[in-house]
Amino acid sequence: MSDEMLPSNDWNDHQRPPSTISASPALIAHLSSLGLPPATRSALTQSLIPSILQGISDIAKALRNSQQVSLAGTANSFGDDQLNVDVVAEDLVRIALARCPCVVTASSEEDPVERPVVASPSSSSSSSSTAQKEEEEEEEEAAAKEQYTIAFDPLDGSSIIAPNWTVGTIIGIWDGPSALSQSPGAKQIAAVLGVYGPRTTAIVAVRVPGAAEPSACFEVGLGDGGVRECEIVRPRVRLADVGGGVKTRYFAPANLRAAAEDPKYMALVAHYIQNKYTLRYSGGLVPDVVHALVKGHGIYLSPVTGASKAKLRRLYELCPLALVVECAGGRAVDPRDGSDVLERAVENCDERGGLVCGTAEEVELVRKMLL
């Protein structure tokens, strides 16, 4: 990747021409079918979710053209070394958010401070059409009624990107100007998982109070045309009950070295082997969880022991993933005490934890065997 592709980290200095996102009729129709209150959620469905999906498509294009994956020479605030692709993915998500006046605050794993989001400059110039001006005025009016905070991990799985394995983007959408000290179960109202593999797809979860659908989870496919040509791959993503005729059971044991320190974890892994579960583990959080969502069954485990500390950040990874899994009918719990991930507020950006998520019955089995 050439040096000119590497962006500045001073997000407020970005002055870009506005980009009107025209989503595909299939996406607009599906979002409309969720029955979200139009008076209070039009910006979410017409601007924010389509813009995020376009950002995911743009990241996919950048990754396809990034033949050299290398250290960027910088580290994020947590001390993690940044790759050139981490920096570019961060910038592309920020560009997507700057299109949306309803987004007032954002933070990420690469820049873990909630900062104001400066919207792209208005295009209400003499060259703008009347229809375009009216559309922009409607967007601004909707944004005045809606305020969202975004917490995201721009490129999760960067440790496996050099061998060209599937990686992803994790995005949580929160009501209001901050995600901190808020109830994740009530205030995180949507999440998106972007998946960069042989195809570019995204899992979208929405749980908005007052909606006709209490919760929704669906999958879209993003080709070279981005959100303008995106397809609804699965209108309803759902984890099946184990007792409902599941033919193949899957398990993804992250932090497997912890089994050498924790006899209970070792016994759990042995249980999966003895009962002929199929191993599906890549080392990428997004693809491993999405595998279960697509197959309709699976359990992902990332336990915490005295020697194997928690690595997953609650704000940028655990909360968005938990919302997606819950909207698909599954569960996501903290392996230290068995509590639901979305029960407890996030008080600071560096809070970390373990994760057990997947089919509800499988999660309950893990709670019994580990706790």
Q: How far is CA 179 from CA 190, 258, 314, 334, in A?
A: 12, 31, 11, 19
Q: Do 301 and 289 contact (CB within 8 A), yes or no?
A: no
224: phi then psi, degrees, rounded to nearest 5:
-65, -25
Q: Rg of the chain over CA atoms, in angstroms?
A: 20
Residue 201 pairs in a beta bridge with 195, 221
CA distance linking residue 36 with residue 59, whole number of Å: 28
361: phi then psi, degrees, rounded to nearest 5:
-65, -35
Structure confidence at residue 1 (pLDDT): 39
293 in the same domain as 167: no
CA distance linking residue 269 with residue 161, whole number of Å: 27
Structure confidence at residue 83 (pLDDT): 79
Domain of 309, CATH number, reads 3.40.190.80
Q: How far is CA 187 from CA 207, 272, 310, in A?
A: 10, 36, 24
**Helical segments of 80-236, H only:** 84-98, 130-145, 184-187
Domain of 96, CATH number, reads 3.30.540.10
Structure confidence at residue 39 (pLDDT): 87
Q: Given a cut of 80, is residue 346 above it in pLDDT?
A: yes
% of the chain exceeding 90 in pLDDT: 70
Q: How confident is the model at residue 16 (pLDDT cuts 50, 70, 90)?
A: very low
Q: What is the pLDDT of residues 208-257, one digit of tens each?
A: 998 988 999 999 999 999 999 999 999 999 998 766 567 889 999 999 98
Structure confidence at residue 141 (pLDDT): 64
Q: 95: number of CA atoms within 13 Å, CB side?
A: 22
Q: Given a cut of 60, is residue 320 above it in pLDDT?
A: yes
300 in the same domain as 200: no
133 in the same domain as 263: no
CB atoms within 10 A of CB 141: 12
Q: Which of 234, 265, 294 is the last residue of a domain?
A: 234
Q: What is the pLDDT of residues 265-297, one digit of tens each?
A: 999 999 999 999 999 999 999 999 999 999 999
Q: How many residues does the chain have?
A: 371
Structure confidence at residue 15 (pLDDT): 39
> Can you tell me the mean pLDDT for 179-195?
98
SS3 label, residue 83? strand
216 in the same domain as 303: no
35 in the same domain as 101: yes
Buried b / exposed e across 84-123, counting CB within 10 Å, b at 16+?
bbbbbbbbbbbbbbbbbbbbbbbbbbbbbebeebebbeee
210 in the same domain as 246: no
Higher-scoring residue by pLDDT: 22, 131: 22
Question: Which structural domain range is residue 16 located in?
Answer: 3-234
- What DSSP designation does 324 have? H
Structure confidence at residue 10 (pLDDT): 44
Q: How far is CA 212 from CA 38, 50, 272, 350, in A?
A: 11, 20, 39, 35
Structure confidence at residue 80 (pLDDT): 64
Q: How confident is the model at residue 145 (pLDDT cuts 50, 70, 90)?
A: confident
Structure confidence at residue 177 (pLDDT): 96
Q: What is the pLDDT of residues 146-162, one digit of tens each?
A: 999 999 999 999 789 88
91 in the same domain as 196: yes
Q: Which of 179, 207, 234 is the last residue of a domain?
A: 234
The chain-wide mean pLDDT, for the chain, equals 87
- What DSSP designation does 117 have? P
Give me the sheet containing 299-302, strands edge to edge.
278-279, 250-253, 299-302, 355-358, 331-333
126 in the same domain as 28: yes
Structure confidence at residue 188 (pLDDT): 98
302 in the same domain as 201: no
246 in the same domain as 230: no
299: phi then psi, degrees, rounded to nearest 5:
-135, 130
Q: What is the total count of domains within the chain? A: 2
Q: What is the pLDDT of residues 23-72, one digit of tens each?
A: 999 999 999 999 998 889 999 999 999 999 999 999 999 999 877 776 55
Q: What is the pLDDT of residues 97-124, one digit of tens each?
A: 999 999 999 999 999 999 999 765 544 4
